[in-house]
A and B are shown apart, each in its own frame.
Chain A
C-alpha cells in the first residue's frame, strides 16, 4: 500500500520563475493539504483541497495556487518565485469522513531551492 508520494524530490529554480509540485495521496484518502517548511521551522499550512475545491487556506499570497484532480492527486503552483520561497514543501493526505480520528499522512516532500 503506497503512502503519500511527491514529485520531484528536489528542484532548483531562479527568482521570477514558476514551479509546479505534485502529490499523490495515500490509497483511500480524498483530502490533500499542503505545507511549507522553511529551514529550521515547523511546517506552515498553505491550503487544503477536497472534491477538487480549495476548502481552507493559510496566510499565503495568491502566488500560491493549487489544484486537485478527480483521482484525488494534487498540484501546488507557485508563481513569481522569491528567494523566501526556498523550503521543503510537504503534502499530507487524509480521509475527510474520519476527521482527526485518522490523522494526516505526510509525504517526504519536495525540496525547492531558489537561486
Chain B
C-alpha cells in the first residue's frame, strides 16, 4: 500500500523567501509522485509529477521538486515566494503508472505568504 506524509500542516513565509514544503512517501513499488495545489473553493491543479524520468522535476509557476529514493522524499520548493502562491498544497502517490491508477494524498500543507 502507498502512503504520503506531509510534514507541517501550515508553513508561513515572507514574500520573496524560499518555499520548502516537505513530503515523504511509502510505496512497495516504484512510486509515481505528484504535487497539486488547491486555491479556496476550487479543485486541485497539478503543479508537477515524477514518473521515473529525471529526479529533479520542474513544474508550473516556478515550482520544482526533487525525488530522493534514499530518503523516500519528494519535497516541493520555489526560490522566491509570491503572494499568489498562498494556497493549500497536496503531495500524492499513485499505485501504478498504468491506465487505472488512483491517487493517495497527504493531509496537505497550507502555505501563507506574508508581505
Contacts and interface: CB of A to CB of B under 8 A. Distances in A.
Contacts of B101: 99-100
Looking at A33, A96, A104, which has the most chain B CB atoms within 10 Å of its CB?
A104
Contacts, number: 71
Interface string B1-37: 0001000000000000000000000000000101010
Interface residues of B, number: 28
A42 B106 contact: yes
Contact of B46 (A31, A44, A90, A103): A103
A72 interface: no
Contact of A108 (B42, B99, B108): B42
B34 A103 contact: yes
Nearest to B90: A42
Interface in A90-108: 90, 92, 96-101, 103-108
26 contacts: A4-B43, A33-B103, A40-B107, A42-B4, A42-B92, A42-B107, A43-B103, A44-B105, A48-B102, A50-B100, A90-B43, A90-B44, A96-B99, A97-B99, A99-B97, A99-B98, A99-B101, A100-B94, A103-B34, A103-B49, A104-B103, A105-B46, A106-B43, A108-B41, A108-B43, A109-B43
Given A35-B103, A101-B51, 16 more contacts: A4-B43, A40-B107, A41-B107, A42-B106, A43-B90, A43-B105, A45-B102, A45-B103, A48-B100, A90-B44, A99-B98, A99-B99, A100-B49, A100-B51, A105-B46, A107-B43
Interface of B: 4, 32, 34, 36, 41-46, 49, 51, 90, 92, 94, 96-108
